[in-house]
Amino acid sequence: METRKLSSVRWGRRFRLPFLLPVTLLLAGTPETWTDPETHLTWATADNSSGVTYRQAEYYCGHLQLVGHNDWSLPAVEDLRGLFGGPANSHGYHVNGPINLTGWAWSSSPGKQPGEMWVLDFGDGARASVPMGDSGLNRALCVRRGR
């Protein structure tokens, strides 16, 4: 897989953290979580659906309460890579599992430079080292490691 570095240009609107609280994920007619049978990781079945900075994504997952659990976090970039594959969804993203993605996904893995984190592009499977203050296409997709 290719590795890319993005510039520190900021895209989209910036949201204040109070905008993200309380965090509740409501998906009409769709299961709220999916457990990967190979990794046993439990994933939210949708990202937060808007561009957020790394800190906002971290805050979102850290405060997510879903199906009785509040121990959600951002996944490592290798966990995200494990989700890449399958046919493209309506947004052009390739996801192994019933997860609705609307953009790239932040990871908890430090990037190439200080102040950067890895994100994964589910369009082509490439990861990019992105400044933590960028939002643009970057979303929060939350995972929990417990069963």
User: What digits encode the pLDDT tens for the residues 111-125?
Assistant: 999 999 999 999 999
Instruction: Name the E strands within 29-103.
Output: 33-35, 42-44, 84-88, 94-95
CATH number of the domain at 111, please: 3.10.100.10
Q: Is residue 73 part of a domain?
A: yes
- Residue 31's pLDDT is 75
What's the domain range around 117? 34-144
Closest by CA position to 99, among listed 28, 34, 41, 38: 34
pLDDT digits (tens, 9 = 90+) for 28-49: 445 799 999 999 999 999 999 9
User: In Å, how far are 60, 83, 121, 136 from 16, measured between CA atoms?
Assistant: 12, 29, 25, 15
pLDDT digits (tens, 9 = 90+) for 81-103: 999 998 998 889 999 999 999 99
95 close to 127: Cβ distance less than 8 angstroms: no
Q: Is residue 110 part of a domain?
A: yes
- Residue 9's pLDDT is 29
Q: Is residue 4 part of a domain?
A: no
Q: Which pLDDT band holds residue 27 (cuts at 50, 70, 90)?
A: very low
Higher pLDDT, 12 or 53: 53
- Residue 60's pLDDT is 98
Mean of pLDDT values over 9-35: 48
Q: How far apart are CA 139 and CA 46, in angstroms?
A: 10
Q: Which residues, in sequence order, are CB contacts of 19 under 8 Å at separation 6+?
A: none
- Residue 63's pLDDT is 97
Domain tally for the chain?
1
Output the six-digit token pair for 132: 């933590």
